[in-house]
């Protein structure tokens, strides 16, 4: 790989999973327009995230990366964003309080639109059409027209990302995220469940702790960390033309930043060492992630670390394992050992979703809550055995009361899946299952010792 990197240098490398845009002139017009738009995030914010992730790499903090599998143009609303944020904040409070370490919060939000597919086409009966690749590319309806990649969608994705970020900034800095409101985040539905009651008990303890602090004379009113939170954004950097159009030179440091999100990651299907996605992300200064599936070798992981983080900056690289509950412990251990031996300061995060997708008898794609917990348990055991820090989790969830994953507090069954199955792509945890998972994860990490 040539050393010289530019925002365009990826174009000389093979790029997997790119849409087959029918009209490249129209695509170029839209990309030019995107490149003229203001940055969605600022380089300084990405640097702050990288520094927070540096603490995770050193075992002093925990990463919670969570949000939609695929954001939707159709289900875009303030309520939807608020509810997703609420679950992330609730999970973070549970993890922080139970584990006693800061939780770095990163949403799969404000840009998580593009989807890699295992097959380029989808066949129903005798009809074969291009696959749905996320709302940034085409529409999921099974008609030839709907599936044509439409570059105008790139602009719509940019605009929806901007509005989502605007609301996220308002919610996280404008009072909604105030720690005094931890109990207000609990909706009626959560109070009625065992996990909901556990959450209420925890929020009561936090309220007492805050009252104690102010009774001792601590100025809690003016201490901003109690009233505001940092929630960063991230998505899979899949459509490289779009990412390139939002890549800007930071005048302060002279480095290039992909200003479409604070953190970008490379998916399981696009992580070829000599491919365009790795070429693109190696040159931007944002913190970056890479999925690590069951087929990866220790040599591959070390080479990836060398390529993505030659200066060995803690927090620059997050490795997100996704192997499946039954493979993780044995599959991960040699990788942990190799990266440790090579002296690379990575964040290890566990994606317990993508290796545990199954098809229910009614044809719905689903995931079982106990498999999700099981993969995290195996992840924690592997770290314990290798003396490394199980740095975080990467999950797909929504604040809505969907029925897409089975099990959890409400013990959802395969029969419940038809009830509220709303995802545009993979099955997500609902709000209750998210909080439930946070309690289970906190217990697993606490026992990590
Ligand atoms: C995803 O995170 O939605 C995804 C497609 O994951 P992976 O690349 O690990 O399959
Ligand atoms: Co997914």
DSSP-assigned letter for residue 131 = P
Atom of ligand 1 nearest to the CA of 108: 2
* Residue to mutate, 291, 293, 331, ligand 1, most ligand atoms under 8 Å from C-beta: 291
Ligand 2 centroid from CA 83, angstroms: 19
**pLDDT on residue 199:** 87
Ligand 1 pocket, residue 69 CB under 6 Å: yes
Q: Structurally, what CATH architecture does the domain formed by 9-177+228-446 represent? A: Alpha-Beta Barrel (3.20)
Which of these ranges, 90-94, 219-223, 296-300, has the smallest mean pLDDT?
219-223
pLDDT tens per residue, range 121-177 = 999 999 999 999 999 999 999 999 999 999 999 999 999 999 999 999 999 998 888
Predicted confidence at residue 293, as pLDDT, reads 98
E-assigned strands of 164-221?
none
> What per-residue confidence (pLDDT) applies to 179?
85
Of 51-60, 178-187, 229-238, 289-298, the least confident: 178-187
Q: How far is ligand 2, taken at its centre, from the CA of residue 214, in Å?
A: 43
pLDDT at 312: 98
Stretch 96-108: mean pLDDT = 95
The pLDDT of residue 189 is 58
Place of tokens 């009626």: 188
Q: Looking at the CA of 322, which ligand is closest? A: 1
Per-residue pLDDT of 302-349, as tens digits, reads 999 999 999 999 999 999 999 999 999 999 999 999 999 999 999 999
Q: Give me the sign of the Cα torsion angle 281, 282, 286, 288.
A: positive
Ligand 1, residues 266, 295, 354, 357: which to mutate, most atoms within 8 A of Cβ? 354
140 lines ligand 1 (CB under 6 A): no
Residue 135: both structure tokens together: 């709302």
Q: What is the 3-state secondary structure (H, E, C) of 36-68?
A: CCCCCCCHHHHHHHHHHHHHHHCCCCEEEEEEC
With beta carbons less than 8 A apart as the criterion, state whether 350 and 293 touch. Answer: no
Asked if pLDDT for residue 1 goes beyond 60, the answer is: no
pLDDT of residue 198: 87
Q: What is the C-alpha separation between 4 and 217, in angstroms, rounded?
A: 56
Range name among 104-113, 183-192, 432-441 with the lowest pLDDT average:
183-192
Domain boundaries, the chain: 9-177+228-446
Among protein residues, the one with the nearest Cα to ligand 1's atom 9 is 268
Q: Give the position, in ligand 1's atom list, of the atom nearest the Cα of 291.
A: 9
Atom from ligand 1 closest to the CA of residue 270: 8
How distant is the alpha carbon of residue 345 from its chain centre?
Answer: 20
Testing ligand 1's pocket by substitution, the residue of 268, 290, 349, 424 carrying the most ligand atoms inside 8 A of its CB is 268
CA of 292 to the centre of ligand 1 (A): 10
The overall average pLDDT reported for the chain is 95
For residue 214, the Cα-to-chain-centroid distance in whole angstroms is 36
**What stretches of 145-230 adopt beta strand conformation (E)?**
none
The pLDDT score that the predictor gives to residue 158 is 98
Euclidean distance between the first and final Cα of the chain, in Å? 42
- 322 in ligand 1 pocket by Cβ < 6 Å? yes
Task: State how far the Cα of 119 lies from the Cα of 364, in Å rounded to an integer.
Answer: 18
Q: What is the pLDDT of residue 449?
A: 64
Q: How far apart are CA 412 and CA 59, in angstroms?
A: 35
Cβ of residue 235 lying under 6 Å from some atom of ligand 1? no
Centre of ligand 2 to C-alpha 227, Å, is 32
- Mean local confidence (pLDDT), 432-447: 93
Ligand 1, atom 1, lies closest to the CA of: 69
pLDDT band at 2 (very low <50, low <70, confident <90, very high): low
Count Cβ atoms below 10 Å from residue 214 Cβ, excluding itself: 12
């Amino acid at each position: 790989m040539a050393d010289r990197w530019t925002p365009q240098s990826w174009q000389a490398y093979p790029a997997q999973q790119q849409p087959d845009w029918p009209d490249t002139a129209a695509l170029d017009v839209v990309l030019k327009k995107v490149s003229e738009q203001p940055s969605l995030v600022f380089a300084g914010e990405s640097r702050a995230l990288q520094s927070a992730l540096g603490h995770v790499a050193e075992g002093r903090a925990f990463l919670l990366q969570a949000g939609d599998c695929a954001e939707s143009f159709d289900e875009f609303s303030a309520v939807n964003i608020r509810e997703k944020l609420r679950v992330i904040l609730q999970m973070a409070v549970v993890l922080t309080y139970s584990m006693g370490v800061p939780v770095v919060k990163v949403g799969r939000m404000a840009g998580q639109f593009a989807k890699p597919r295992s097959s380029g086409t989808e066949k129903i009966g005798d009809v074969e059409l291009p696959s749905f690749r996320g709302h940034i590319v085409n529409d999921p309806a099974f008609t030839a027209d709907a599936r044509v990649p439409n570059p105008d969608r790139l602009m719509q994705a940019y605009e929806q990302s901007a509005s989502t970020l605007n609301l996220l900034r308002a919610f996280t800095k404008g009072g909604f995220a105030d720690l005094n409101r931890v109990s207000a985040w609990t909706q009626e539905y959560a109070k009625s469940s065992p996990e909901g009651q556990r959450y209420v008990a925890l929020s009561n303890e936090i309220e007492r702790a805050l009252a104690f602090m102010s009774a001792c004379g601590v100025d809690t009113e003016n201490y901003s960390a109690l009233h505001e939170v940092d929630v960063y954004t991230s998505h899979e950097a899949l459509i490289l033309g779009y990412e390139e159009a939002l890549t800007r030179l930071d005048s302060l440091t002279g480095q290039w930043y992909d200003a479409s999100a604070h953190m970008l990651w490379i998916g399981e299907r696009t992580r070829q060492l000599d491919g365009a996605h790795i070429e693109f992300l190696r040159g931007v200064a944002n913190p970056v992630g890479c999925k690590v599936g069951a087929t990866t070798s220790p040599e591959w992981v070390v080479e990836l670390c060398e390529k993505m983080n030659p200066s060995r900056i803690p927090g620059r690289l997050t490795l997100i394992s996704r192997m499946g509950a039954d493979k993780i412990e044995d599959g991960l251990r040699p990788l942990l050992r190799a990266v440790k031996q090579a002296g690379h300061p990575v964040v290890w995060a566990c994606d317990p979703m993508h290796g545990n997708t199954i098809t229910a008898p009614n044809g719905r794609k689903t995931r079982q809550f106990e498999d999700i917990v099981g993969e995290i348990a195996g992840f924690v055991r592997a770290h314990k055995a290798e003396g490394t820090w199980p740095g975080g989790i990467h999950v797909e969830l929504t604040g809505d009361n969907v029925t897409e994953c089975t099990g959890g507090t409400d013990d959802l069954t395969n029969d419940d899946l038809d009830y509220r199955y709303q995802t545009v792509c993979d099955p997500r945890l609902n709000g209750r299952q998210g909080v439930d998972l946070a309690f289970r994860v906190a217990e697993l990490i606490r026992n990590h010792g």
